[in-house]
Amino acid sequence: MDERNALLVPDARAETVVAHWREMLCSALEYYGGFQWSLNHLFRVHGVFHDVLRQYVGITNPSPFKRCAAFAVAFMREKCHPVYGELDRHKFKSSVDGIDRYSGAVLAYEYVRFCLHGATIDKPHGTEVLENPILISEHTFVDIVHSLSLLRREEDAASFHLLELLFEQLAYCSNENGPYDRII
């Protein structure tokens, strides 16, 4: 198993996935500073992650985009939110002022970016690797952080599916080999 993308492995053990999240949070803490997180809450996020996949996907091997959308929804749900405190605002060129819960949203998005870089996509003609990292503008970054910060416990299916499509399109914009043929 590729430890770098533990979230994307369908049958990964909770301990493996949570250890992966913990590693990412430790790296983010070094860069952003100013926040704390709870290991118990990370295990709760893992449980919610699987609940979200069952509720909105219902297939045994969901795409990396569906898995990342489920992670973002699970990570941002209020009852399990594992991040306390705020990231260092000086690390952002654009303003995150006025965005409630921006720290968790930044971390959720950064983890999704991390997981999709190198992810494999099964297609009818074979498997494609998303070789390039997702790169976006500062303005888009703030808009995504703002949108993620608005996710709450009682989100609807539309939020999940729109996140899935957003992550898919962001990855495909950075990887020419990723997109399916455009027919519409």
Q: Which residues of 87-103 are buried (b: 16+ CB within 10 A; e: fewer)?
A: beeeebeeebeebebbb
Mean residue pLDDT across the chain: 81
The model's pLDDT over 141-151, given as tens digits with 9 standing for 90+, comes to 889 988 998 88
Q: Does the CA dihedral 49-53-54-59 come out positive or negative?
A: negative
Tokens of 28: 């983010």
**Letter for the amino acid at 135?**
L
- The alpha helices in the chain, defined as continuous H runs, are 14-32, 39-56, 64-76, 102-116, 138-149, 157-174
pTM of the model: 0.85
Confidence band, pLDDT 50/70/90 cuts, at residue 67: very high
Q: Which residues pair with 128 in a beta bridge?
A: 121
Residue that wins the pLDDT comparison between 58 and 7: 58
The model's pLDDT over 114-134, given as tens digits with 9 standing for 90+, comes to 889 989 888 888 888 999 999
